[in-house]
Structure 1
Amino acid sequence: MNKVRAFWIVLALLFSSPVWAFQSRVVAIPSAAMRQSFDATVVLPDDYARGNHTRRYPVIYVLHGSGGDYTDWTSNSRIGRLADRYHVILVMPDGGHESWYIDSPFNRDSQYETYVGNEVVAWADAHLRTIATKQGRAITGLSMGGFGALRIALDRPETFGAAGSISGAVDPRACEDEPGIAHVFGDPARHASYWNRNAIIVRARDFERDHIDLTIDCGVSDDFVSSNRTLHQRLVELGVPHDYAERTGGHTWAYWSNAIRYQVLFFANAFRRNGGYQQSTRA
């Protein structure tokens, strides 16, 4: 191959390959409920900065799992590219190591449902060019974050139009041995009623009422696959529309970094269908 031909081939590859120019930044988001601020990762699509400065974008809130933090998704996956591909804002808040994203009645310093479901959303709408309607918001997460995303969406159907769970711990009653969980759920024997009524499986009927676009997936080798199958079957019995998938894999980043691609595609389709991509010239 001569040098001239090689040059043109390289040039063609450069212009045909996608250029990922999303912006990733760490911000501090205050919590009145917990009287402190927590860091979060925000990813903005490339055209957010260089395009029409009156354009507004739908937002996907992506939650980390137990023992993780706000850097997990960007450190372990290529999630940022999805912001460019689907023209969405991604917000990845810190949910504490073992908060389970609930407002714990047993630990007043752990009020992460209010923080993520109310305060983070309010911050995003105030500081970013978001589409501040339920049709322009989705929430998902992995493991503990999958539980948190579904619970937050169930409790705030006026806020989130779509929700997802990846390898979700949808039945905390199967996680009694998880370090730290009793600090927020209480002792599983003495406070069994609290554990029971907060299991997503028990609350499946609420999805029937709330009309949330719903997607759930889990790896076939994941310890949580049984509870996810039970939730799926319950939703089928209730006639609740939802997307459910099992794929090869376990409770690992190899699975999660692949699954998030399908979930963001699902949310993008929901935004298009429900008007969540509508642009605004409002300042």
Structure 2
Amino acid sequence: MNWNSFVFVILLTLYSASVFGAQVDTLVVESKVMDKNITNIVIVPESNTHTDIKLPVLYLLHGYSGNAFDWINNVPHIKDYADAYNMIVVCPDGGYSSWYFDSPIDVSSQYETYITLELIEAVDDKYNTDVSSKARGISGLSMGGHGALYLAFKHTSLYGAAGSMSGGVDFRPFSDNWEIAKRLGEYNTHQTLWDENTVVNMIPMVIGKNLKLIIDCGIDDFFYMVNQQLHQKLLDNKVEHDYIERPGDHSWEYWKGSIHYHMLFFYLYFNQA
């Protein structure tokens, strides 16, 4: 995209955001795999309330200790972005410290199955969605950045594009943090589980696949080095991806900027010729 086209898209975004008003729903889904009800936020473009056009869906994951309301509370402009880019945005509740995989040691934390099977089915049943993988993307921040890539790498038939903002894409250097050991066991006794469930080791799953990727991280972020390493491994394995690093740390101030890049990335993917 040249600069003039980019400016046109941004102007179109601002104009559309001033005209439409997205609808914010609370969707409660019964998770059979975890035997509980889970609350999710769903943002529906205003245009979709008046038509039967099936829309693409972006799943947007929160970070450690967060919940389904994190994105809408901290970046309320995502309602404008949903309108401007005409896509449904789903913000799941991924638990306090699930890291978005099915824990092999904690049956109460089975969020891979929940999101890939139960939540997608519930969203597609209730909303006017395009159910093809080319119309489904996933992204997230921090723990959710890891989760988005983890789920997309393992389920390339479900997602056509994936992103990560400040993602914990290799959590092994941080084995004492963020309750990861509650999901995988202590690192010194369960190293194989840690190796198998960290994103940086999952690149072989996407070699030769048509999964579009965007990865970004602030240069002052404690996850900066592991994101650089992921970027290099993707290059070494000739896996195409967009990579962004810019000033910033592990904060909502940074992610408020990141979401601009990610929403535009997914918009262009969903509307490619």
TM-score for both structures, normalised by structure 1: 0.88
Distance 2:104 2:140 in 1: 23
Is 1:67 aligned to 2:68, yes or no? no
5+ residue gaps, structure 1, are 1-14, 275-283
Q: Do 2:67 and 2:93's aligned partners in 1 also have CA atoms closer than 8 Å?
A: yes
Residues 247/126 of structure 1: CA separation in 2 closer, same or farther (3 Å cut): same
Q: Do 1:205 and 1:235's aligned partners in 2 also have CA atoms closer than 8 Å?
A: no
RMSD: 1.4
Corresponding residue number in structure 2 for 1:29: 29
Is 1:273 aligned to 2:272, yes or no? yes
Corresponding residue number in structure 2 for 1:279: none
How far apart are residue 261 of structure 1 and its match? 1.2
* Secondary structure of 1:201 counterpart: helix
* Secondary structure of 2:139 counterpart: strand
Corresponding residue number in structure 2 for 1:174: 173
* Secondary structure of 2:116 counterpart: helix
Alignment-mate amino acid for residue 154 of structure 1: F
Is 1:41 aligned to 2:41, yes or no? yes
How far apart are residue 250 of structure 1 and its match? 0.5
How far apart are residue 32 of structure 1 and its match? 1.1
Q: Deviations over 1:41-83 (max 9, x none)?
A: 0000110113x2x211000000000000000000001211110
What is the aligned length?
258
Residues 16/119 of structure 1: CA separation in 2 closer, same or farther (3 Å cut): closer
Alignment-mate amino acid for residue 26 of structure 1: T
Corresponding residue number in structure 1 for 2:255: 256
Corresponding residue number in structure 2 for 1:111: 110
Q: Deviations over 1:172-226 (max 9, x none)?
A: 1022121421110111110001101222111122221332010000011100010
Corresponding residue number in structure 2 for 1:10: none
Alignment-mate amino acid for residue 169 of structure 1: G
Q: Deviations over 1:110-148 (max 9, x none)?
A: 000111121111111111000001000000000000111
Q: Do 2:140 and 2:147's aligned partners in 1 also have CA atoms closer than 8 Å?
A: yes
What is the 5 A alignment of 1:229-240? Answer: 229-240=228-239
Structure 1 range deviating more: 177-186 or 109-118: 177-186
Residues 35/241 of structure 1: CA separation in 2 closer, same or farther (3 Å cut): same
How far apart are residue 30 of structure 1 and its match? 1.3
Distance 1:174 1:99 in 2: 18
Q: Do 2:153 and 2:203's aligned partners in 1 also have CA atoms closer than 8 Å?
A: no
Q: Deviations over 1:234-272 (max 9, x none)?
A: 111111110000011100000111101111111111111
Corresponding residue number in structure 1 for 2:221: 222
How far apart are residue 20 of structure 1 and its match? 4.4
* Secondary structure of 1:66 counterpart: coil
* Secondary structure of 1:26 counterpart: strand
Distance 2:153 2:201 in 1: 12
Q: Do 2:17 and 2:83's aligned partners in 1 also have CA atoms closer than 8 Å?
A: no
Alignment-mate amino acid for residue 191 of structure 2: A
* Secondary structure of 1:18 counterpart: helix
What is the 5 A alignment of 1:153-192? Answer: 153-192=152-191
5+ residue gaps, structure 2, are 1-14
Q: Using the aligned pairs only, state the percent identity.
A: 39
Q: Which has the larger radius of gyration?
A: 1
Structure 1 range deviating more: 19-28 or 151-160: 19-28
Q: Deviations over 1:68-104 (max 9, x none)?
A: 0000000001211110010000000100010000100
* Secondary structure of 2:37 counterpart: strand
* Secondary structure of 2:189 counterpart: coil
Distance 2:142 2:243 in 1: 16
Residues 174/17 of structure 1: CA separation in 2 closer, same or farther (3 Å cut): closer
Distance 1:241 1:139 in 2: 17
